Amino acid sequence: MAPTEIPKWLKEAKEYDYSDIKEGIRLHLNESPYSPPNFIIQEVEKYLSQGNRYQHPDLTSRFKELAAEYNKVEPSNIFPTPGGDGALRAIFYNFLNPGDTVTYNFPSYSMYSVYSTVRGLKVNKVNLVENGDWWKEDIDKLLDFAKKSKLVVIDDPNNPTGSPMLKANKDLISTLVESINGFLVLDEAYYEFSGYTAASLVNEYPNVMIVRTLSKAFSLASYRVGYLIANKEVVDALTKTSTPFDVALPSLIAGITALENPSYARKIVNEITENREYLYSSLKKLGLKVYKSVTNFLFVKDNRDLLNPLMERKIAIRKPIDGFYRITVGTREQCEILVKALGEILESGD
C-alpha cells in the first residue's frame, strides 16, 4: 500500500461534535422553529418538476442581485455559498495555508476551531469578558494578536453568548483591519436579529468579509444557502475556485424566493424576539443566571446537569462549554414547555 499522504494535523483532528434528536423540542442548534412559507416550497417544486438539470447561470446572477439589493451593495460583492459554513470554508481553504495564524474569540462558533484544525493553522483564542448582563470582546488583546494573524474571525453577534461584539463600529473595525496582516471576517449569521451590519465596509476595506446565512431568520437551514459579502476582487477569486453548481438548484431557488420576499423573515424575527424576552424573564424568575441577547438564543450560566433531565423530557439544549448552556428560542409554546420543565427540574434537584 502506498504511504498515506494525509497530513498529521488532519489525522489528529476531531469532527464537529454534532449530536441530534429525532423527536422532541429542538432548542440546541439555533434553527428557526417556524417552517418557511409555502410559496417557497411551491417554487422549489416547480423547478424540480421541470426535469433534473444543472441550473442556468442566470439563477446565480439573480441570487447575487437580490442579496446585493438586500444589503445595499453591488452584485459583484456577493459570493453565494452552501450556508454560512460554505462561506467560512471558502475562506479557510482558499486564503490560508497550513502554519498560518488565525485569531478568534473564546467562546465563539465552534466551526472556527474545526476549520483551523483541519487546515493545520495556529490559533490564538481571545477570551470574552463577562460584563454584567452581556459579554464583550477584549479589544486590546484582539488588536495585539491581529498583528500576527493572517485571519481574524469574529462572530458578531457572538455565538454562544448572544452578545454584540464590534457592532459594526467603523472606528473599531478600521483599527482592527489596519492591524491585521490579512483578512477580517465578520460572521453576521444572526444579522437579521441584531439589526447591525458592517456590509458597507467591504468596498472601503478589501480585506473585510461578511458571512451571512438564510438558515436562521429565513428558516431555510436544511437548504444550506448563504453568501459572502466581500470586495469584488475577493469574490472574483473565490468564484474561480467554485463550480457554478455549488449551491444546489433547490437551495438557490429557495434563496431567491426568500430574498424576493424578505418580509416573512421580519415577521419571524419579531416573533422570536418576543419569545426571547418571555424566555429571558421566565428563566430569570427561576433564579437562573441568564444573559441578554440580540440573537435567537440565550446563554445561561449553571453548573448543574440540565442536559440529561431535559433530554428525558425530550427537550434538547446545548452545552457549548463547561458551566454554560445555550438555549435556542423556540415558539412561544416550546418556550413555555421548557420553562415548566426547568422549573420542575430545579425544584426537584434532579
Q: Within positions 91 to 110, which residues make up the interface with ligand PMP, using CB under 6 A?
A: 109
The residues, any chain, with a CB within 8 Å of residue 292's CB and separated by 6 or more, are 133, 134, 162, 163, 280
Q: Which is nearer to ligand PMP, 189 or 341 (CB)?
A: 189
> Of residues 155, 193, 228, 316, which one binds ligand PMP by CB under 6 A?
155
| Residues forming beta bridges with residue 141, ordered by sequence position | none
Q: Which is nearer to ligand PMP, 159 or 334 (CB)?
A: 159
Distance from C-alpha of 101 to C-alpha of 179, rounded to nearest angstrom:
14
| Residues forming beta bridges with residue 103, ordered by sequence position | 124, 152
Q: Which is nearer to ligand PMP, 221 or 337 (CB)?
A: 221
Stretch in the footprint of ligand PMP (CB under 6 A) among 62-70, 81-89, 265-273, 331-339: 81-89
Q: Is residue 294 a contact point for ligand PMP (CB under 6 A)?
A: no
Q: Is residue 251 a contact point for ligand PMP (CB under 6 A)?
A: no
Q: Is residue 139 a contact point for ligand PMP (CB under 6 A)?
A: no
Stretch in the footprint of ligand PMP (CB under 6 A) among 33-41, 77-85, 301-309, 334-342: 77-85
Q: Which residue has the closest beta carbon to ligand PMP?
A: 83
| Residue that has been written with the C-alpha cell 410559496 in this structure | 39
The residues, any chain, with a CB within 8 Å of residue 67's CB and separated by 6 or more, are 75, 78, 80, 212, 227, 229, 259
Q: Which three cell numbers stand for residue 299?
A: 446563554
Stretch in the footprint of ligand PMP (CB under 6 A) among 83-91, 243-251, 269-277, 286-294: 83-91
Extract long-range pairs of 268-272: CB within 8 Å, 24+ residues apart. Answer: 268/32, 268/34, 268/217, 268/218, 268/219, 269/192, 269/193, 269/217, 271/34, 271/331, 271/332, 272/32, 272/33, 272/193, 272/217, 272/296, 272/329
Residue 265 sits at φ, ψ, to 5 deg, of -70, -35
Least distance (Å) between residue 234 CB and ligand PMP: 18
Q: Within positions 323 to 342, which residues make up the interface with ligand PMP, using CB under 6 A?
A: none
Q: Is residue 43 a contact point for ligand PMP (CB under 6 A)?
A: no
Q: Which is nearer to ligand PMP, 119 or 282 (CB)?
A: 119
Stretch in the footprint of ligand PMP (CB under 6 A) among 13-21, 80-88, 127-135, 320-328: 80-88
Least distance (Å) between residue 155 CB and ligand PMP: 4
Q: Is residue 296 a contact point for ligand PMP (CB under 6 A)?
A: no
> Of residues 33, 182, 226, 255, which one binds ligand PMP by CB under 6 A?
226
Distance from C-alpha of 47 to C-alpha of 148, rounded to nearest angstrom:
48
Q: What is the per-residue DSSP string for 272-305?
A: HHHHHHHHHHHHHHTT-EE---SSSEEEEE--S-
- For 337, counting Cβ atoms within 10 Å of its Cβ (0-12 exposed, 13-18 middle, 19+ buried), the class is middle
Least distance (Å) between residue 82 CB and ligand PMP: 8
Least distance (Å) between residue 85 CB and ligand PMP: 3
> Of residues 101, 116, 159, 197, which one binds ligand PMP by CB under 6 A?
159
Furthest-apart CA pair in the chain: how many Å?
Answer: 63
Least distance (Å) between residue 67 CB and ligand PMP: 14
Contact status, residue 15 vs residue 305, Cβ threshold 8 Å:
no
Q: Which three cell numbers stand for residue 49?
A: 418538476
> Of residues 83, 162, 164, 182, which one binds ligand PMP by CB under 6 A?
83
Residue 347 sits at φ, ψ, to 5 deg, of -70, -40
Least distance (Å) between residue 211 CB and ligand PMP: 6
Which residues in this chain contact ligand PMP in the complex, by CB under 6 A? Answer: 30, 83-85, 109, 155, 159, 187, 189, 213, 215, 221, 226
